Chains A and B, each alone.
Chain A
Amino acid sequence: MSTAPLVAFSGISKTFGGVHAVENVSLDLNPGEVLGLLGHNGAGKSTLIKILSGVYPPDAGEIRLSGSPVNIRSTRDAKALGIETIYQNLALSENLDSVANLFLGREITNRFGFMDDEAMEEAARTSLDRMKLRLPSLSKLVASLSGGQRQAVAIARAVHFNARVLIMDEPTAALGPEETAKVGALIRELASQGIGIILISHDIHDVFDLADRLAVMRHGKVVGTTRTADVSKDEVLAMIIAGTLPAGMARRDH
């Protein structure tokens, strides 16, 4: 590969009470790539992601961001490096509107200490336009938005403050087919702007159509990674369930 990957895990391990949650994992994420991280519950994908987002420190191994090693000790560190995580429950404030949610904790105020609603709304609009993202009304309460629109608000909040890596936990699991397509289009749009996206799921159907590449984890280890185009869903299922690789695939991609 000519350029350094956006995120490179090498030899990452993490144990909880003697149990290897993540064992010697090496994995790359390239700029503009959508990587599906698959595996059963307890396969280690959540732990790996929490190491990247600063929730847990790794016991061993190294994370490199665009080639330079980083030391992520807290979620704040991760955010400062442009690593944003969207959890399944989205953590939005239902009684606030989209703009207020976008800027929650980072409100723009004028010199008298009053919030500058116009400035925030304008910045939100600009940011949403850049993402080719439209919401029915920015001043509508999040409580009245659909699941897909909420997902869009959560994504907008994550990306607005210059995210380079976006981690999404089962982003479309709770959505209907139409909304899933919309969120999918948004994810592709973000990837086309160079953001690296990791989609976590235990269900192959959630990510198969979205991901450029799939990484399957089992018992804390990476079973293998593959380009989505090169495999069938059944082959990926076999990787998830039995840990068996499709014929002709290397044990590791590097």
Chain B
Amino acid sequence: MKLWGLLALLILAACDQNGLGVGSAVKNFFTTPVDAVSDIFSDAAYKRRREATLAQQEVDGVGEIRYCVDPTGAPIPLDQMNALDGLAQGLRSEACQCVPWGDCPTQVCACGSLCPRGFDIFRHPAGATAKSLSTPANGLAFRNESVGQYEMTGGYCWGHARLTSQFNRLAFFKPDEPAPHDIRSTDPAEQERAVKFYKGLIDKIDDNKAVNIPGYPDLQSLSDDPALQSYLGDKMAKSWADQAMSWQGLFTAVDGRKQSNDSYARLFTDVKERIDMHMQPTIIFTSRGSPFMTHAVLVSHYEMMGDGRMKLCLRDNNHPEYLAATCQDSMVIDPSNGLEYSAWGDIGSAKLAHNENADAAAQAASLQRKCSREKGCAED
């Protein structure tokens, strides 16, 4: 009877799309040797959202869709718009955006477009691109510690990259919304309550949950506050240890040998796809010939060079943020020399961080729930 109960649970789970996606992972699980199994369920969740993103891109094509609505929010029929002989400026002001996190009402724009299941949900504020995240305002107020004799060693780079990415994807700063408590208050009790409040929000971000952050305009200012900076610094160190000291971290990037250009090209293709899906992924790499000189950075965006090769623009947490936006820190594959980083020279191994898929899937799920709540859509 118990068995049938469990089977019923399985069937119920399979009715849910999440369950179906995981079902295929379970099928693979039965045929895959345990040594080759890595993050199998996290990967399944990632792949499901990836497929949803690609499918949506095929439907939408490229670019945003704009509709015109009247002041009540109802769509204006096409024949009326044609009769207007072009849109007057006043009417344009009533246009809404039918994009992820856009401002169109749900009677104009489907919830699937406003709060997509795929990674398009990372596009916030509406219309943002991966590259637009690469600004000092969207960065932590402190850099990865890597000075003096430890220059260019790992430091807590992995934690820095992950924390930055978590805030960029999940935090919605609301500078004009008052916080429940005043962190600038001279009353110690009030200040303590405020610090506790913000630490709670930081915990949620660290737990891959999307949140509004009142009272601060951006990540730079939030992380500059010493009460919160200390907490974030500890989070960064812990996050680094969670990734780098783990079994998977042990073998992530300790190979200083030159890899094949095909291997580098596969990484570039994977990174490009993620950037096109509005993510700035974390990559781990090793200096060629120095297997223990390892670093983790975010990839800001990519640019195509005159000769058709791709250049990855890096958001290196050892360097100032502004270098990423102008692509001054970059990686390219040289046909004869292999992978090169402008700041390091020749690179040995380079891989996507193993936390990427699990984090991205959990973050997208949380963002979709938040978006659905705010837009009045049914939650998944």
A and B physically associate = no
Footprint of A on B, CB under 8 Å? none
Which A residues fall within an 8 A CB radius of B?
Answer: none
